[in-house]
Structure 1
């Protein structure tokens, strides 16, 4: 038997309520994930211990703590140094994408994303990440 490497719990950090609502629908209703959605990096830091995400999906451009700063802060929390993270952003020039990967992201999903395939895109990134082990 293969160990169950399937992705269930996702923490999403997105400051735009409309995008958050669409992503929640895409990931919970369509994808069947357990989603914790936060509107700021600060809120994510407060809730991450409770939701214990297997994967973090975060917006790059946010007021206050942006995505990269939020990811750095999460990396300093016990138990989250290696939690895979995916950036969602409209800034997807190849040098920008390389920058996000250099920060330790395992993938980048371009915005605007397609809600019908978002769960599949995330699953694909997850499967590639887990297959490395």
Structure 2
């Protein structure tokens, strides 16, 4: 099944790795955003099947972006997975308590990324 994923990260290298892993290996459609404001606009116009959202970005961080998604009926149901380099158990719990679908640690392996995302979201293709 073709999944539509929005990847939001201010780091171009991370966006490239994710795109490669998801488009080439899984055949999913990947859209890219470099910040929370662009992600919100893209979601409002055409909600994706899921979003990978960097926690630490300038201007509008991941938790703030996630909160704004939750405030809007059209984007409230978009499952969000946080991407972060900070994966201490307390931080992971803090992020999960916000209501995200999961947390993935950077760096990650593009070869296993589609399976990890599918597992977190309960997708069975």
Which of structure 1's runs of 4+ aligned residues deviate more than 3 A? none
Uncovered stretches (5+) of structure 2, i.e. residues with no partner? none
Q: Comparing 32-41 with 46-55, which one deviates more in the overlay?
A: 46-55
Q: Within 2, Cα distance between the matches of 1:113 and 1:92?
A: 12
Which residue number in structure 2 is paired with residue 75 of structure 1? Answer: 70
Among candidates 81, 90, 95, match of residue 86 of structure 1: 81
Partner of 1:3: none
Task: Give the TM-score taking structure 2 as reference length.
Answer: 0.92
Q: Of the candidates 29, 38, 48, which is equivalent to residue 43 of structure 2?
A: 48
SS of the residue corresponding to residue 92 of structure 1 reads coil
**Mind listing any 5+ residue stretches in structure 1 that lack a counterpart?**
1-5
- Partner SS, residue 53 of structure 1: coil
Structure 1 SS opposite 2:10:
coil
Q: Deviations over 1:60-119 (max 9, x none)?
A: 010110000010111122222132111011111111000010111111111101111111
Summarize the alignment of residues 1-133 of structure 1 with structure 2, pairs less than 5 Å apart: 8-127=3-122
Q: Distance in 2 between matches of 1:51 and 1:33?
A: 16
CA contact (8 A) 1:7 1:54 kept: no
CA distance in 2, matches of 1:43, 1:79: 16
Cα offset for 1:32? 1.2
Counterparts in 2 of 1:40 and 1:74: CA distance versus 1, 3 Å = same
